[in-house]
Structures are given as structure tokens and as C-alpha cells.
């Protein structure tokens, strides 16, 4: 039995953050019914790198967040559409929507109204800046929130260089994860109280949570953390280096790990010196050790250094492209993470319940278009 088996979710979301939230609930057993407009379906249906999938309205941006859901076309701007939706609400547990401003409220879809139909309903709104405040009606995408929240200004090579966007839509996925967590919490709370809940999830808030330590430092000091790209200014042991073949990222953050790193590289005197330093004084030898590390790393491949350093319990990894990572045995042998039977290649869950038997999605299961058992 899956954790959310028996839970019905009405999914009024689109693009990435909202659909990612509801996909997490679906992956844990919830019955998720994705509701789309007959004239304006989810814009990601034809978005992605595969033209064939785009033409089939199953673009990779859509598929990655929609596999395992049921599908229903419903005109919520019509009286009949609203009547059908309200009928669904009676037998549902959760409604999730990510329209900006009060668009759905104007159609009569609000927590206040839906809770009168079903007092146990959990209503989650996902917006760029929250349901209240001066920017409540402003639209947003991942890149806009990256700019607004400070993520772009925190990312890059130095404070003198232009701000840099984080490549993957991390704010979208971070917001979706927070929303799924909030809904899960509300479902648990409902078991105790017997009543529903209204949830307000803002992408801007989630973005700050993704930078929790940096935000805390800024609030404490009044100064934003400096940007340093791939090379930590005081910890050359926590930096990226070019090898004879590819790049390797070193993650030796503690004094012991830094000392062990220098030992593996053959710099025994420097390793001993680091042992006698503190976090406050370790920066005194950073530049000389950076040059030594760079010189030695160039003597072998990134994969060689990953292997030999990991064997000595020093964190390090060859910098991989996504296509390389997807073919790593670490992930290919994890049943709950990947479903890889074309055309349905998608991610499921990044965790496992080890003490129970998990039911996984049928790898051939796409969106169900049937209306059977909806009402």
C-alpha cells in the first residue's frame, strides 16, 4: 500500500512548479486528476527536446511532471464546467492551483466556497509572490524569482561579474517540493482535526528557503555573501580543477578532509601543516596549496581522482553532463528513481521506504483520459 492511496487530488496547475508538486503526490499513490482547459491546455505539452513527443502533446517538460496522473478536459469558465468541478470536489481531498492573482476566485473556485461543499478539502495556492501583499497579482516564472530573490546575484564567478542564472529551474522544483510537503502536513493535520486547510505557497518564499544559510548570514551581518564560482577563496580543497581529462570537483570541507586530500596528492608536509591549523587560520596557506593541487590534478584524469580520493574518504566527483549521470549504475539500479521504457522515461521518487513493499508506477502509464470512477 502506498502512503497516499485513497487520496484524490484535483490538479489545476500548469508549467513546472505546480505539476511537480502534484506529481510527487501521484508517485506516492494519490489519484491525481489533471484538469485542463479545452482551449488552453498546459503550455508544456509541446515543450521539450523531442519534436516527436512535442507533436504528440507529450513534451518532456510535460511528461516529467504528468506521468501517473489522470486527465480531464473541463471548461471552468462555463456553468457546466463549474458544476462538474464542484461535483468532483465533494469526493476529493486536495485541490492544487497555481494561477496568478485571483483568476480562479473570479470563477468561483476559492477555499471559502469549496470548503462549504467539502469541509475537509485542502486547498493549496501556488503563486509567485503569495496571495497577499503588493505583488500578489504579479506573474512570475523561475527566472523572475531567481532575479527577485537574490539567487542570480548570489551565483557567478565574482562580485564584479554579471549575475548568473542557475541553469535548471531549481525554484520551480523547490517550490513544488515545499508545496507537496505542506499538503502532506495538512493531510496529517486533518487526521487529527477532521477539518480542511488553506495553504499559500509563494515561489519567492521557497527561493529564500533554498538559500537558508546565505539569507541567515545576510540578516546577521547586513552583507550578502560574496560570489566565488567554482573556487572557494579560502578553501582550495573545496574547489573545481581541470585534470588531464575533464574537470573534478573537490569537496574536502573539514580540516581532516583537507589534510587527507593533501596526503593522497602526495603533499605530506602540507597535510601535517593543515592538521595544526584552525578554521580561522586555514586561509593562510590557501594560495600556495591551490597551486600545488592544480598542478597535481593535471597529472591524471578526473575519473582517476574521483576514484582514488573517494577510496580515502575524501569527497570528490568528476563533473558530469546529465546524459552521463543518467547512465551511472548508481541510478540505473534504483527502481524507484527511474522509469526507462520508451517513450515513458521519467523520474519517480528520490527516496525509498525500506521497511515496506512499495508499489511503483506502471512504466507504460501515461495520462489516463477516461472519466471512469471520477464521480
**What residue spans of 15-141 are helical by DSSP H?**
17-27, 51-55, 60-66, 79-90, 103-106, 111-117
The set of long-range contacts for 275-279, using a CB threshold of 8 Å and a minimum separation of 24, is 279/255
Catalytic residue among 138, 232, 313, 365: 232
Smallest Cα–Cα separation from 267: which of 294, 234, 304? Answer: 294
359: burial class by Cβ within 10 Å (0-12, 13-18, 19+)? exposed
Residue 232 annotated in active site: yes
Dihedrals phi, psi of 357, to nearest 5 degrees: -85, 120
Residue 336: partners with Cβ closer than 8 Å, 6 or more residues away = 348, 349, 351, 352, 358, 360
232: burial class by Cβ within 10 Å (0-12, 13-18, 19+)? middle
Contact 62, 16 (CB under 8 A): no
Nine-digit cell at 348? 519517480
Place of cell 462538474: 84
Write the CA distances from 196 to 28, 112, 113, 284, integer angstroms. Answer: 20, 11, 12, 57
Q: What is the DSSP letter of 297?
A: H
Beta bridge mates, 338: 347
Contact 118, 198 (CB under 8 A): no
Smallest Cα–Cα separation from 172: which of 348, 20, 358, 28? Answer: 20
Contact 267, 211 (CB under 8 A): no
Strands 70-73 and 94-97: unpaired
User: What residues are annotated to the active site?
Assistant: 232
Amino acid at each position: 500500500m502506498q502512503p497516499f492511496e485513497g487520496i484524490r487530488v484535483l490538479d489545476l496547475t500548469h508549467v513546472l512548479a505546480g505539476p511537480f508538486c502534484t506529481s510527487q503526490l501521484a508517485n506516492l499513490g494519490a489519484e491525481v486528476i489533471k484538469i485542463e482547459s479545452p482551449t488552453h491546455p498546459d503550455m508544456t505539452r509541446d515543450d521539450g527536446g523531442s519534436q516527436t513527443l512535442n507533436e504528440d502533446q507529450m513534451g518532456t517538460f510535460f511528461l516529467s511532471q504528468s506521468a501517473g496522473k489522470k486527465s480531464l478536459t473541463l471548461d471552468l469558465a462555463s456553468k457546466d464546467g463549474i458544476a462538474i468541478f464542484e461535483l468532483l470536489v465533494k469526493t476529493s481531498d486536495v485541490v492544487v492551483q497555481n494561477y496568478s492573482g485571483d483568476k480562479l476566485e473570479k470563477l468561483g473556485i476559492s477555499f471559502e466556497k469549496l470548503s462549504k461543499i467539502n469541509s475537509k478539502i485542502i486547498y493549496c495556492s501556488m503563486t509567485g509572490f503569495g496571495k497577499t501583499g503588493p505583488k500578489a497579482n504579479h506573474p512570475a516564472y523561475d527566472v523572475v524569482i531567481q532575479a527577485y530573490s537574490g539567487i542570480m546575484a548570489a551565483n557567478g564567478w565574482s562580485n564584479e561579474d554579471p549575475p548568473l542564472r542557475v541553469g535548471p529551474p531549481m525554484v520551480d522544483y523547490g517550490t513544488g517540493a515545499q508545496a507537496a510537503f505542506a499538503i502532506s502536513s495538512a493531510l496529517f493535520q486533518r487526521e487529527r482535526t477532521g477539518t480542511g486547510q488553506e495553504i499559500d505557497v509563494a515561489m519567492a518564499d521557497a527561493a529564500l528557503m533554498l538559500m537558508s544559510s546565505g539569507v541567515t548570514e545576510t540578516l546577521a551581518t547586513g552583507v550578502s555573501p560574496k560570489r566565488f564560482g567554482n573556487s572557494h577563496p579560502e578553501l582550495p580543497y573545496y574547489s573545481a580543477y581541470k585534470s588531464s581529462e575533464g574537470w573534478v570537483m573537490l569537496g574536502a570541507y573539514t580540516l581532516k578532509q583537507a589534510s587527507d586530500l593533501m596526503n593522497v596528492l602526495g603533499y605530506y608536509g602540507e597535510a601535517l601543516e593543515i592538521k595544526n591549523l584552525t578554521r580561522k587560520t586555514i586561509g593562510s596557506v590557501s594560495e600556495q596549496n591551490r597551486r600545488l593541487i592544480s598542478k597535481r590534478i593535471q597529472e591524471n584524469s578526473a575519473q582517476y581522482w574521483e576514484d582514488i580520493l573517494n577510496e580515502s574518504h575524501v569527497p570528490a566527483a568528476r563533473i558530469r553532463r546529465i546524459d552521463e549521470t543518467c547512465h551511472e549504475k548508481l541510478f540505473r539500479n534504483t527502481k524507484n528513481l527511474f522509469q526507462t521504457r520508451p517513450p515513458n522515461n521519467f523520474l519517480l521518487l528520490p527516496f525509498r521506504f525500506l521497511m515496506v513493499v512499495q508499489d511503483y508506477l506502471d512504466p507504460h502509464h501515461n495520462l489516463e483520459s477516461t472519466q471512469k470512477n471520477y464521480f
